[in-house]
Amino acid sequence: MIKAKTKQLKRALRVSSRVKDRSDLPRLIVKRSNQHLHAQIIDRSGKVLAAFSSTALPANLTNKSNKTNIAKEVGVKLADLAKKDNLTAAVLDRGEYRFHGRVKALVESLNEQGVKV
């Protein structure tokens, strides 16, 4: 268990440090739990430009949908907030999570809405 957690933390540090060092674009930070998904767009100084969470979705949507569909809806809502702030591109900081499942669904829905990640 300790070895797996260590690998997870190393992956998170490696991915986040690469994203911070190499880009002038804002970062899209994704955090997920067993039930919820949180996404926020942060600029280089650490200011939150746009943020949305699955906890802010209506209860009737979250009870009837699976987690991947909820992630797509979070991406749509986050794209709407990003467009209001004239954000058209961001760099994905996936942290310790692999690019599949809910993380991939979130990014694909952002791309479909016009925010390039």
- pLDDT tens-digit profile of 5-44? 888 777 777 777 777 767 788 999 999 999 999 999 998 8
Range of the structural domain that residue 102 is part of:
2-112
The CATH number that applies at residue 99 is: 3.30.420.100
Cα(77)–Cα(21) distance, rounded to whole angstroms? 28
Query: 111 and 92 in contact (C-beta within 8 Å)?
Result: no
Number of independent structural domains in the chain: 1
C-beta of residue 79 within 8 angstroms of C-beta of residue 14: no
The answer to whether residue 117 is domain-embedded is no
Tell me if residue 111 falls in helix, strand or coil: helix
pLDDT tens digits, residue range 44-73? 888 999 999 999 988 877 777 899 999 999
Candidates 85, 71, 102, 9; CA nearest to 41 is 85
Task: Give the pLDDT of residue 7.
Answer: 81
